[in-house]
Each structure stands twice: as C-alpha cells, then as structure tokens.
Structure 1
C-alpha cells in the first residue's frame, strides 16, 4: 500500500541546506568556477574535501555502522539542490550517490567505510548518458584481469576507485592508478567526461553488476532532479534580481508585461519541478514506488532546467552572453544534465510502460 509522499523540508533538512549554502558561498563563487573550467583541472578538490571530510556529506547514504551518517536520499537531495545552485565542480553525484549506491547493493562494507571516512572519490564506469535498465558496456575478464575501453565516464579523471562491470556479470573494484584515463570533449566543463582504458588491470569482484548498476542509475536519475531544481531555481532568482535592477526608458525592465509573463510561467515550472524532485527523493528514501517517482521527475526536470537556463541567458541580454557572467555555466550544466541518466524522452517511455499506457 503506497503512502502519501512528504514534499516538505524538515527543520534538519533546512539546517543542512543553510550549512551547505554557507560553505559554497565562501568557497565556490562563480568567478572561481569559470576560472577552473578553463584549466586542465576543473574539479575543486579542496571543496570536495570540505564536503567529504569537514561535513561528512560523502557518507550520507552510508550506515553509521560503516562510519557514515545513516541519512536518507532526502538529505542528499538537499545537498544536490545547493550544489546545483552553485554549479559546483565536485564529484558528489557520481561518487556519494551513484558509486555509493552500487556498493550498497553489493554489500562492500570495507569500501563503503573508506568512502565515508576519507575523501576517496569513486566512479561507476558506466556512460553518464545511460538510463536505469539500459544495456551497458562491460570490460573483458581474461586471465583474472580486465581489458577494454569504457567511454563517457563522468568524473573519472579525479576518481581514486573505479567500479567496473565485466562480461562475467560481476562488478569489480579497480584502483584508478591501474587504468588509463583520457579526457573527452565535454559540454559541461564542471563535470568532465573521460574514456577509461583497462589493459590488464587487476580488480576485485564486489558483487553482481546488473542489480548494482540498475540501483545506482535509478538513484542517480532520481537525485539528479534535485540538482536540476537547484540550477533552475537559481537561474530564475538571478534573472528576477537582474530585471529589477536593469532599466530601460527610466523604468525597471522587469516591469514590462511580456517579461512578467515569461517569469511567471518559469516560476510555475520550477514549483512543479520542486514537487517532482522532492517526490523522487522521498520515494527513494522509502523505496515506495521509487521507479515511478524517478521517471516522473526526470521526464519533467530536464526541460524545465534547460528552459530556466535559456531564459536566464536571454533575459540577461548582452551581459549574459559574456564569458565572465555565469549564465553559460548554468546552460551547459542544464544541457548536459538533460542527457544524463536517460533523456526525458527515455523516461517518458519508461513511465508509459510502468503505468501500462502504451502508444498506439
């Protein structure tokens, strides 16, 4: 019997939000993110260390018995909202959510303890574009070692540990120093992709790849909606602020009726996205109809996030087109997120199957 989802934020979740926002305000300003994106090292590893070590947020989903926080997907969703608002270049979604969920499915307690108690970064060697349940490429297991090339792996460049699916059906933990990581051209420079080449890499089997990958990608897709929510909400907020300050004909641009209508429509979309993202996080926390809630959230989230980022870019006019303004960071992240863990179209098709509403 399904229960009514709780879409409201608890006091603890709001306190967590405030703490994360304060940290990001002090250590992740837009100018720094832009500068990093132009460099060969776009990830902000000091910020990751503050999140993982200083605040213990890398272990939110990990049980307290394994040195984690024993929290739920609801708290993780709040963190991702704030990271999305800042377009923070940290591997939180890929390591603290996706890789962690895969290890939880496998029961790899020692690796989970390592992720919870150290700033270790893990990455699941699955293409970022794949939806839950989609077929995925595997490495070849030959003579007890792994061979092959896996592409589109997010945050592989800074991973200490890679979780590699193999053709024997197993999921293998591989030290990142035993593989070759080659950067790929990425639209979103704050979440770069890479090709992972295994040429006789040793790996330790931690469990079955099939259920682990599906669980990991489902959580990734569901909680990605919270990142998209943070991005869309920040885009709207900054656009409203700018239009209140920018003047034409001696009056604020935001007072023009046509722009009011555009902002009102976007506000409604963001409010609806908040409901969908919260429902997905709540369902993942309770595992109540989580597949349905995740597909609904992702079917809706990507178009809203892209629309919000596009409106921010256009309504900031000339300044929004400059490299110095962060509007392009939001648009690139929104566009890249629209392909991550399945497109909106793929999730709509999955949703139709879940509710037995097939196309004619």
Structure 2
C-alpha cells in the first residue's frame, strides 16, 4: 500500500475491491492527464503555487507513461523536468518516513517502464542527463527497458550511451560528459544554497502553508470536483434563473431571483415596433388562425434566420421581389396579401428565410449569396401565385 503497509496489516485478501479517493479538485485534472488534453489540464490547475508545481510533475509523469507528446512538450516549456522526482503533495511533505519508494521515480522512468520510445527521445533531447537518472532502486532507464524487454528502447538507449560528444579539439565519451555535467550542476546547487543560507532546510514548505495530519485535520482527499472544492459553502444561496425568455404580449421578460430579493423584470420592446410604419397594414389583415397553421419546423427556421441574418428596417430595404421580378409583377400582378395568404409568411420573413439558406454557402461572396437568395425567393413567390 501507499503507506508501506501490507494487505495483511489491513486484513485484506487478494482480490478485494478497494475504493481510493483523490485530492479534492483533482478529478477533472487527472482525467485531462489520462486523455492527454492539454487545455483541460490548463483549466483545472490549482491556484496555489506549491500545488501547481506538484501538479505539473504529476502531469508530466502521466503524460510520459501514456505517451502524450503534446502535453509533455507544454509541461517542459512550463518548467517541469523529466529528471525531477514526482515527490508527494505539499500538504504531506512533513511525513517523510512514510513515503513510498515510488515517489522518487521521475517521468523518464515512467516512459522507460511503458516502453514509450518517442517520449524517451523527447526527454533525452531535452536533457542528456536522462540517460543516467536513477530511481529509488538505483536503476537507470536502460536497465528498466531491459527488465521489461522493450527492444526498440534498449537499442536507442545503448546507441546514445555509447556515442561521443564532439568538441573542436577532442571527442568526449557520453558517460564522461554526463559525469562532468552532474558535477557542475551539484557545484551550482551548493553555491545557491550558500547564497540563500538554507543549508539546514529540510522541507520545501514554508510557515503558513497547509499541513495535513491524519486523524487530526479534516481530510482533503474526498474526490470532490474542481468547482465543489473551490466553493467553501456548498449550501450557500445561489442565483437562480427562471424561464429565460417569456413571450407575453409581444414582450420578452427576464426574471432573476436571489434569496429573498424581489424579481426584476427587464422588458424589451416588441420586435415589430421598429417597422410599424410599413408592416402595420399587412399585420392587421393577417388573421390569428393563419399564424397557428404554420408548422413548428418553419417557426424554428424563422427564429434561427432572425438570429443569423440581421436586416435593416423595411423602410430602407424594399421587399426582394420589388427588385428581382418586376416582369412577374406586371404579368401576374400579385399583391402582398395574396402572397402572404398562400405562403404563410410575410415578404420580409420570406426574405430572411432565404437569405439564411443562402448564407450556408460560405465559400461564395456575399453578392452571390444574395443572388441565390433572390432566385429561391422568386420561385417561392411565383409558384403559389401561379
């Protein structure tokens, strides 16, 4: 088990079903890591800096094991390193004596365990020190690949390990080059410690950070979602929106209620007020029964068209048949009332409907879309009148 106890210590038999919880707010983050979804991982990162650094190490480890190259490339740019131990959560760094040995594994070890050749190439290209990175048992990636019989990975690592690093005056074997680089890095770290005067520091946590003690503090590993963990009081008052759009007497009302506050009504003017001057005589003659006779599909299409094709007022834009079919006007002499009677739509609604249909041809210029809409509208007028 994680705390170095055996199954017999918990009186569990082999084959028993165990339910393991994750840290609160980590469900969506871990799902994004498993799927390799970079944007989901970015969205559900924690707001605390120590936790974010730990999440990046965990995400790189999981990406290395699953072979998600895009996610690992982004994490490397964010500062995560393939040779850095994953470690434990910052809230539990104080209990070092109970750490599981696997917390000392690095992302490069996960790639070697799973035989992810492309991940190994990416990590070694990022840092050549990956070749000599050891886990808690002292095993290098090459030894792990040999143990799990990943032939392609073994051939690649052996080729890299026995290669030469070329300098202007002399070549240097890879093993000696790695030892020199490790020695330089160790010297740089010692200099930084002396400057910061933190030679006695054991933990990376600071005064004021959260510390969890089992049995004494409230657990934070209950598998809560990201938003549930962010909200302190889940039962607090929330803003509730009732029916978003209520059409009453040609007006739209938006009601919002919060707690004991009174509802606030936002009334918008009727849709046809702006065009009252020209559309009024036509609307008077249309009976209410004819509006009911329209099918639901046409009403849905008209609502979609109104949202997609905003047209100027009728006083500026004449009905489309005024421009497109002057010959039919003289030959057949159709009136606006007869067209509305046969088609069930006003000329303006008809124009909006066919402009929306023509707008589906996105590869064509707007003038050609307008020509298509005129052709369709012309047929829709001539057919019922004839």
TM bracket, shorter-chain basis: under 0.3
TM-score by length of 2: 0.20
Q: Larger relative CO (CA 8 A, sep 6+): 1 or 2?
A: 1
TM-score by length of 1: 0.21
Indicate the structure with greater strand content.
1
Give the number of the structure whose alpha-carbon radius of gyration is greater.
2
